[in-house]
């Protein structure tokens, strides 16, 4: 078992009655604020956004993660909640924000499964074989990347149920229904029968308000919920599907343990709609006054869409791009949100449902009512870059040199590539890697092949162990990420999307060579947000703003209007106009596609050759 991470003591402070020291708040003493909460795989973050859309406070806290055995990843809502509350208190303290100016709170989180007891509302431990809480850590979350339900996922996909059309044809092992089925197959029956199940973001709004309202984003995107009226869906949850896979007991009492039936014994809302208000207990934990509006939450990548695609774009420090100066919701259909971190999620909105092989969705109502979302992705981008660099023989030397120059290894390698270009008098950096062909699905393929068994391949290997060799391998990895982005965008557009620009977020935005490559490979502009590291939590704060706009009749301001008002202008990376570079990348893309197809063909031919062999 991995080492257990102790809980951190919660900072104690009385709610401040002083005004923010931000100069805007001194000029506007009654300025409103909104809190965004982002719960990622490794940390919980809180940002404070003022009513001009500026982030005036930001803090994070590391979340505990346990691995009881290989492929198992568990967390605790108790620990996550403490990290959230600590982050809020620290973010408020940064500028002495008065708690009475907080009008709304929005949550996003990873699409992980959280389990509670239906009768006591206490966390239920998900660690077998005993499923008890003898260590007192409340490990009741099966993390999204947990791969324990292998057999359950195979069983689910063997049904070929119609709802699988809405998750790219196959339900992923990363989704929550396979994990619920694993618990059914492994928990004592009397314990499983007492469990109720939440997507993590719904668990957090439940803990904040005490209510049972669920988010369309959570249940539609990751739990097999088909909105009423789509393909004849009557209750959202599909009784025949749950029965076929062995979860008939979840159909009892109108699916109460999953959230119920909308308007009967449950309530489901689109992004940012008012879930309820901050309870006395939760308010005390956060150091805030009770009664603050809580918005319906979203999966973390979807908060990245909210925090980026509404931005106006600057061509220069003062000049807005005329094509983006006025934002209409229809412009969202042309904008792909690429939320890049360890992996990258690609999100696109459409007016009508668009089915794309290997792309999850289409999902209705999850962000804007009556519109549809599609979710593609790359299983590893940031993690792939890290892996390639750290496993190369020259890594230690490169790391030492980077430290000498007081820079990170990515910036150092980018500069090394530029120096190599100058030494070779090359027309561009891509020229250096013209004969190096790297296909990088080392961690499987999410889109558009949707094959977790995909691997990597290299053509052009040499015995070079030098810094130049590392820089070349690093460049080829960035080129792979860019070419695969092109492949995903191309697959989506061929199926009916109309993507013409990419709105990036995450630390990879700071990598200028990678951004140039993505723009060149896709032949479309890449937009970099103002808040590179905080686009997701900024989007969560906008959910809080939408909830706070709710009037007495229950109507709230459209989310797109809020995004348009609070999003900050970013900068544009234009696609190359160098025809020679375009020609080179076009040739490299052809090889990339051949490497992808050839790998599948090679595996098939070998599998046929060894059929019948005894292991």
| pLDDT tens track for 526-561 | 999 999 889 999 999 999 999 999 999 999 999 999
Q: Does 13 score more than 80 pLDDT?
A: no
User: Predicted confidence band at 78 (pLDDT cuts at 50, 70, 90)?
Assistant: very high
Condensed to tens digits (0 to 9), the pLDDT of residues 195-247 reads 999 999 999 999 999 999 999 999 999 999 999 999 999 999 999 999 999 99
What is the Cα gyration radius of the chain? 24
Cα separation, 385 vs 394, whole angstroms: 15
Q: Does 505 score more than 80 pLDDT?
A: yes
Condensed to tens digits (0 to 9), the pLDDT of residues 245-280 reads 999 999 999 999 999 999 999 999 999 999 999 999
Q: Does 327 score more than 80 pLDDT?
A: no
- Are 397 and 375 in contact, with CB atoms under 8 Å apart? no
Q: Does 587 score more than 60 pLDDT?
A: yes
Q: What percent of the chain has pLDDT over 70?
A: 93
pTM: 0.90
| 461, burial (CB in 10 Å: exposed 0-12, middle 13-18, buried 19+) | exposed
Which residue did the predictor score with more confidence, 584 or 323? 584
- Which phi and psi angles does 532 have, rounded to 5°? -60, -45
pLDDT, average across residues 116-138: 94
Q: For helices 382-390 and 395-404, what crossing angle results, to 10°?
A: 100
Cα separation, 521 vs 483, whole angstroms: 6
Cα separation, 386 vs 474, whole angstroms: 9
Cα separation, 244 vs 260, whole angstroms: 19
Position 146 scores a pLDDT of 93
User: Predicted confidence band at 377 (pLDDT cuts at 50, 70, 90)?
Assistant: very high
Cα separation, 475 vs 27, whole angstroms: 49
> Quick count: other Cβ atoms within 10 Å of Cβ 386?
15
pLDDT, average across residues 387-401: 98
Position 83 scores a pLDDT of 98
Position 170 scores a pLDDT of 87
pLDDT, average across residues 453-465: 95
Residue whose token pair is 């509006």: 293
Condensed to tens digits (0 to 9), the pLDDT of residues 467-497 reads 999 999 999 999 999 999 999 999 999 999 9
Please give the structure tokens belonging to residue 119: 């009768």
Position 602 scores a pLDDT of 97
Condensed to tens digits (0 to 9), the pLDDT of residues 341-358 reads 889 999 999 999 999 988
Q: Among residues 55, 72, 79, which one has the least CA distance to residue 136?
A: 79
All domains of the chain, ordered by start, with CATH?
33-293 (3.30.420.40)
- Are 92 and 286 in contact, with CB atoms under 8 Å apart? no
Position 448 scores a pLDDT of 94
Which residue did the predictor score with more confidence, 170 or 367? 367
Position 7 scores a pLDDT of 28
Cα separation, 346 vs 354, whole angstroms: 15
pLDDT, average across residues 572-588: 97
Q: Does 95 score more than 90 pLDDT?
A: no
């Amino acid at each position: 078992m991995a080492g257990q991470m102790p809980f951190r003591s919660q900072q104690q402070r009385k709610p401040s009655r002083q005004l923010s020291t931000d100069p805007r708040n001194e000029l506007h003493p009654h300025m409103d604020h909104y809190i965004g909460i982002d719960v990622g795989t490794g940390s919980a973050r809180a940002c404070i956004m003022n009513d001009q859309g500026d982030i005036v406070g930001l803090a994070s806290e590391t979340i505990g993660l346990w691995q009881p055995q290989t492929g198992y990843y568990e967390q605790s809502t108790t620990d996550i909640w403490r990290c959230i509350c600590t982050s809020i208190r620290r973010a408020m303290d940064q500028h002495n924000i008065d708690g009475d100016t907080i009008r709304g709170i929005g949550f996003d989180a990873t699409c992980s499964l959280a389990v509670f007891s239906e009768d006591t509302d206490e966390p239920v431990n998900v660690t077998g074989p005993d499923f008890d809480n003898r260590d007192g850590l409340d490990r009741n979350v099966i993390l999204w990347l947990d791969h324990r339900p292998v057999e359950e996922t195979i069983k689910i996909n063997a049904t070929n149920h119609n709802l699988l059309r809405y998750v790219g044809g196959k339900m992923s092992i990363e989704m929550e229904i396979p994990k619920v089925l694993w618990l059914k197959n492994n928990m004592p029956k009397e314990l499983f029968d007492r469990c109720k199940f939440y997507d993590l973001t719904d668990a957090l709004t439940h803990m904040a308000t005490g209510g049972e309202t669920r988010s369309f984003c959570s249940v539609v995107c990751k739990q097999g919920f088909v909105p009423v009226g789509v393909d004849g869906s009557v209750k959202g949850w599909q009784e025949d599907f749950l029965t076929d896979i062995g979860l008939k007991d979840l159909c009892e009492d109108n699916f109460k343990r999953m959230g119920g039936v909308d308007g009967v014994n449950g309530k489901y809302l689109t992004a940012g709609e008012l879930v309820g208000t901050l309870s006395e207990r939760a308010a005390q934990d956060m150091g805030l006054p009770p009664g603050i509006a809580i918005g319906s939450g979203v999966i973390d990548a979807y908060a990245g869409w909210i925090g980026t695609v509404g931005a106006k774009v600057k061509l220069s420090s003062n000049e807005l791009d005329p094509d983006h100066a006025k934002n209409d919701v229809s412009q969202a259909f042309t904008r792909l949100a690429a939320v890049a971190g360890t992996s990258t999620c690609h999100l696109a909105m459409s007016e009508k449902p668009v089915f794309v092989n290997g792309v999850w969705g289409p999902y209705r109502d999850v962000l804007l009512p009556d519109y549809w979302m599609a979710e593609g992705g790359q299983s590893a981008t940031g993690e792939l870059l890290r892996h390639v660099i750290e496993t190369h023989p020259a890594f230690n030397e490169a790391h030492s040199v980077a430290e000498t120059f007081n820079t990170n290894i990515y910036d150092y390698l980018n500069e090394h590539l530029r120096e190599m270009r100058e030494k070779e008098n090359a027309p561009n950096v891509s020229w250096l890697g013209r004969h190096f062909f790297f296909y990088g699905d080392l961690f499987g393929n999410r889109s558009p092949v949707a094959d977790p068994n995909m691997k990597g391949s290299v053509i052009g290997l040499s015995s070079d162990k030098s810094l130049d060799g590392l820089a070349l391998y690093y460049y080829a990895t960035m080129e792979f990420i860019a070419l695969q982005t092109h492949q995903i965008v191309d697959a989506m557009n061929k199926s009916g999307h109309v993507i013409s620009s990419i709105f990036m977020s995450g630390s990879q935005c700071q990598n200028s060579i990678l951004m140039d490559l993505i723009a060149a490979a896709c032949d479309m502009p890449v937009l970099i947000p103002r808040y590179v590291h905080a686009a997701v939590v900024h989007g969560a704060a906008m959910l809080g703003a939408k909830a706070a706009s709710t009037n007495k009749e229950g109507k709230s301001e459209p989310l797109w209007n809020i995004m348009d008002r609070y999003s900050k202008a970013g900068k544009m990376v234009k696609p190359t106009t160098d025809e020679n570079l375009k020609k080179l990348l076009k040739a490299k893309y052809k090889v990339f596609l051949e490497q992808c197809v050839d790998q599948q063909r090679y595996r098939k031919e070998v599998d046929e050759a060894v059929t019948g062999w005894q292991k």
